[in-house]
């Protein structure tokens, strides 16, 4: 059972002053609360990246009203289920933002195989390929900003502890994760948990390929814990009911969970490639099978699947981040 903790708020106005943050999925839940904290702490700019423009604008107005700080947050449209939308957003960010200090890749869905986008189950496209496409397109700018400003930008990818419990599910698709999951009929719980393990395996393989010593950029992964959010709004009724019962027993508030996201955005260089939980680096929670000999094979297969997909979508995007 997850213990509901009083997690620290690791950011301050001093740390946020002059800095620019992108929060993906900022109109609701963890992303909304993280964006609200960043605005209240006097960041220079907070980009609220939202699929639903109307909901995003409403969230922005609420944040401004509740914090009393106008002109900091901006709502930009971003639909992680659309590669075209991701490319448009990234192009705008690279060309118009003076700097990017952290990208908090928070958006995720839990949907069954009937929900599809870009030829794949929605959970795979949003949680995995769309998330990494955004990260790969923005990373060169973060690298340039790190060198120019002598800062340490972050890409913090929100994953989940359920991914670390999905080994048996993952073995069904491990050697061809995108190709095989495309052909399977599976429920939202299967697709969500395997998509989160997919993220973890890709980051474990990728981080050593892009060390902070070369890029100046930290990429890490965050487990916010079980939080009372609208994550399962697109999931089948049975999964929504199961999640509702879990929330009632030991769920954290979205505000508490958002503190883990903010920690990922500023955690030190030692967090590169690491699993963060309860606002600490918690590598002890990563099972041995993730990194043992067989785990390395799974990491490689996961990475190759994502790299192949995204090179086809945006030629050169993988090559550029490895240079």
- Rounded to the nearest 10 degrees, how much is the dihedral formed by the CA atoms of 82, 83, 87, 92? 10
Q: How many domains does the chain have?
A: 1
pLDDT at 136: 98
Q: Which of 262, 309, 285, 313 is nearest to 160 (CA)?
A: 285
Question: In CATH, what number is assigned to the domain containing residue 238?
Answer: 3.40.50.720
Q: Which residues pair with 77 in a beta bridge?
A: 50
Please indicate, yes or no, if residue 242 is contained in any of the structural domains.
yes
The one catalytic residue in 196, 228, 275, 297 is: 196
Residue holding tokens 């680096």? Answer: 281
Structural domain for 270, as ranges = 19-322
More confidently predicted of 235 and 294: 294
pLDDT at 188: 84
Please indicate, yes or no, if residue 1 is contained in any of the structural domains.
no
- What per-residue string of b and e applies to 184-217 under the rule 16 or more CB within 10 Å gives b? eebbbbbbbbbbbbbbbbbbbbbbeebebeebbb
The one catalytic residue in 21, 32, 83, 192 is: 192
- Radius of gyration of the CA atoms of the chain, in A: 18
196 is catalytic: yes
Q: CA 1 to CA 282: how far, in whole Å?
A: 17
| Tens digit of each residue's pLDDT (9 = 90 or more) over 263-282 | 999 999 999 999 999 999 99
Please indicate, yes or no, if residue 13 is contained in any of the structural domains.
no
| Tens digit of each residue's pLDDT (9 = 90 or more) over 190-230 | 999 999 999 999 999 999 999 999 999 999 999 988 755 56
Please indicate, yes or no, if residue 2 is contained in any of the structural domains.
no
Please indicate, yes or no, if residue 11 is contained in any of the structural domains.
no
Please indicate, yes or no, if residue 12 is contained in any of the structural domains.
no
- When the pLDDT of each residue in the chain is averaged and rounded to a whole number, the result is 92
Please indicate, yes or no, if residue 277 is contained in any of the structural domains.
yes
Please indicate, yes or no, if residue 72 is contained in any of the structural domains.
yes
């Amino acid at each position: 059972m997850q213990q509901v903790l009083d997690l620290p708020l690791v950011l301050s106005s001093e740390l946020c002053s002059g800095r620019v943050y992108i929060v993906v999925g900022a109109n609701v839940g963890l992303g909304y609360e993280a964006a609200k904290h960043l605005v209240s702490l006097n960041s220079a700019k907070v980009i609220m990246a939202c699929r639903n423009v109307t909901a995003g604008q409403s969230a922005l107005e609420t944040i401004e009203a509740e914090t009393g700080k106008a002109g900091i947050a901006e709502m930009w449209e971003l639909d992680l289920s659309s590669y075209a939308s991701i490319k448009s957003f990234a192009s705008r960010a690279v060309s118009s933002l003076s700097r990017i200090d952290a990208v908090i890749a928070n958006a995720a869905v839990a949907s069954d195989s009937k929900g599809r986008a870009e030829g794949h189950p929605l959970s795979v496209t949003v949680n995995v390929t769309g998330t990494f496409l955004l990260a790969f397109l923005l990373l060169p700018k973060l690298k340039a900003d790190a060198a120019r400003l002598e800062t340490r930008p972050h890409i913090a990818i929100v994953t989940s502890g359920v991914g670390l419990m999905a080994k048996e599910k993952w073995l069904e698709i491990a050697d061809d994760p995108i190709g095989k999951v495309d052909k399977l009929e599976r429920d939202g719980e299967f697709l969500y948990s395997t998509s989160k393990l997919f993220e973890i395996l890709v980051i474990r393989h990728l981080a050593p390929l892009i060390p902070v010593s070369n890029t100046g950029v930290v990429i890490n992964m965050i487990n916010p814990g079980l939080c009372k959010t609208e994550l399962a709004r697109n999931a089948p009724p049975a999964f929504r009911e199961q999640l509702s019962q879990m929330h009632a027993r030991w769920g954290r508030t979205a505000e508490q969970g958002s503190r883990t996201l903010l920690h990922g955005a500023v955690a030190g260089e030692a967090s590169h490639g690491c699993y963060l939980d309860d606002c600490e680096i918690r590598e002890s929670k990563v099972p041995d099978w993730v990194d043992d000999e067989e785990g390395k094979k799974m990491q490689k297969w996961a990475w190759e699947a994502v790299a192949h997909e995204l090179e086809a979508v945006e030629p050169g995007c993988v090559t550029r981040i490895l240079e």
